[in-house]
């Protein structure tokens, strides 16, 4: 019998990966494309853990390697993001149901945000992974709810681009551009839409979970490192382990 294909857990931050690595069994370290991949089991489920690296190109390369070289058949991304939707606060979790590249602009040749020659700007999460990710967040929410953060779950559009968004003026401009074409992002980050596009091209189900580390405003550069250090790893570990439990009991 062929063993079940592994699930990729792609983390944006080393802090997030460390907690998961500690829980892994049958661990094998593999270097490929200049990156370290950890193959093994989490909650009994075959997994490959990798760091996405930062930015759309780096993350797309990592995702491609996971699919083409390691044969993963589902991909779950965990990381942090800047909250830009109304009511999306630091410590909340945004599960991306859709992904768009906010810095894609080949106009006037193609409509703003559209990826040239694809006819589309928005990529969808896999419906089943999306439902499981949301359920996992709901289940661990009481444990994450510390009094400081409420770990409120949001589901919606995530906008990715090769910028750390760090001023209220930049957020206002980004949202105005997106609203003009009917997009209402809840969070900004630097990888998700690129990985979503790779997964769509390969037919690999994908979802991204993003814990909100900052509001992408003028204090984002202070809030981001503090949150990453103190909280992001706790969230990632709790949510991913719960999600793997849900996947293995399907």
Q: Is residue 220 a contact point for ligand ADE (CB under 6 A)?
A: yes
SS3 114: coil
- Active-site residue among 92, 114, 189, 214? 214
**What CA–CA distance (Å, rounded) separates 102 from 113?**
6
| Residue 16 bears catalytic tag | yes
Check binding of 174 to ligand ADE (CB under 6 A): no
Q: Return all residues near 240 (Cβ < 8 A) that are at least 6 apart.
A: 9, 20, 42, 76, 78, 136
Taking CB under 6 A as the criterion, which residues in 101-160 touch ligand ADE? none
Rounded distance between C-alpha atoms, residue 95 and residue 157, angstroms: 8
Please give the structure tokens belonging to residue 208: 């991204």
164 scored as a contact of ligand ADE (CB under 6 A): yes
Contact call for residues 80 and 213 (beta carbons, < 8 A): yes
Q: Which of 113, 189, 197, 243 binds ligand ADE (CB under 6 A)?
A: 189
Non-local (6+) Cβ contacts of 175 within 8 A are: 84, 184, 185
Contacts of 75 (CB under 8 A, 6+ apart): 7, 8, 10, 63, 66, 67, 195, 199, 204, 205, 206, 207
Count CB atoms within 10 A of the CB of residue 109.
8
| Part in contact with ligand ADE (CB under 6 A); list of ranges 26-34, 80-88, 117-125, 139-147 | 80-88
Under rule CB under 6 A, residue 190 binds ligand ADE? yes
Pick between residue 48 and residue 216 the one whose CB is nearest to ligand ADE. 216
- 216 touches ligand ADE (CB under 6 A): yes
Query: Are the C-beta atoms of 102 and 159 separated by less than 8 Å?
Result: yes
**Is 188 a binder of ligand ADE (CB under 6 A)?**
yes
Q: Is 191 a catalytic residue?
A: no
| 208 part of the interface to ligand ADE, by CB under 6 A | no
Please tell me whether residue 81 binds ligand ADE under the rule CB under 6 A: yes
- Rounded distance, CA 180 to CA 145, Å? 35
Q: Pattern of binders to ligand ADE over 51-70, x per CB under 6 A? A: --------------------
Residue of the chain from 80, 193, 199, 238 that contacts ligand ADE (CB under 6 A): 80
**Least Å distance between CB 50 and ligand ADE?**
18
Interaction site with ligand ADE (CB under 6 A): 80-82, 164-166, 188-190, 213-214, 216, 220, 224
Would you please indicate which residues are annotated as catalytic (active-site) residues?
A: 16, 214
């Amino acid at each position: 019998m062929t063993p079940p294909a592994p699930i990729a857990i792609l983390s944006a931050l080393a802090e997030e990966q460390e907690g998961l690595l500690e829980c892994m069994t049958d661990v094998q370290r593999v270097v490929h494309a200049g990156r370290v991949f950890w193959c093994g089991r989490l909650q009994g489920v075959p997994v490959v853990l990798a760091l996405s690296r930062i930015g759309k190109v780096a993350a797309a390369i990592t995702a491609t390697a996971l699919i083409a070289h390691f044969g993963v058949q589902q991909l779950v991304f965990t990381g942090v993001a800047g909250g830009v939707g109304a009511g999306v606060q630091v410590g909340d979790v945004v599960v991306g149901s859709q992904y768009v590249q906010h810095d894609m602009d080949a106009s006037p040749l193609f409509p703003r945000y559209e990826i040239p020659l694809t006819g589309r700007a928005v990529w969808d999460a896999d419906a089943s992974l999306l439902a499981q990710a949301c359920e996992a967040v709901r289940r661990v929410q009481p444990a994450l709810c510390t009094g400081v953060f409420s770990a409120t779950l949001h589901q919606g559009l995530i906008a990715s681009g090769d910028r750390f968004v760090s001023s209220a003026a930049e957020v206002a401009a980004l949202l105005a551009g997106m609203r003009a074409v009917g997009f209402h992002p809840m969070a900004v980050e630097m990888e998700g839409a690129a990985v979503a596009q790779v997964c769509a091209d390969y037919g690999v189900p994908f979802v991204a979970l993003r814990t909100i580390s900052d509001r992408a405003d003028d204090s984002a550069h202070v809030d981001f490192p503090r949150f990453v250090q103190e909280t992001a790893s706790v969230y990632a570990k709790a949510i991913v382990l719960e999600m793997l439990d849900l996947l293995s009991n399907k």
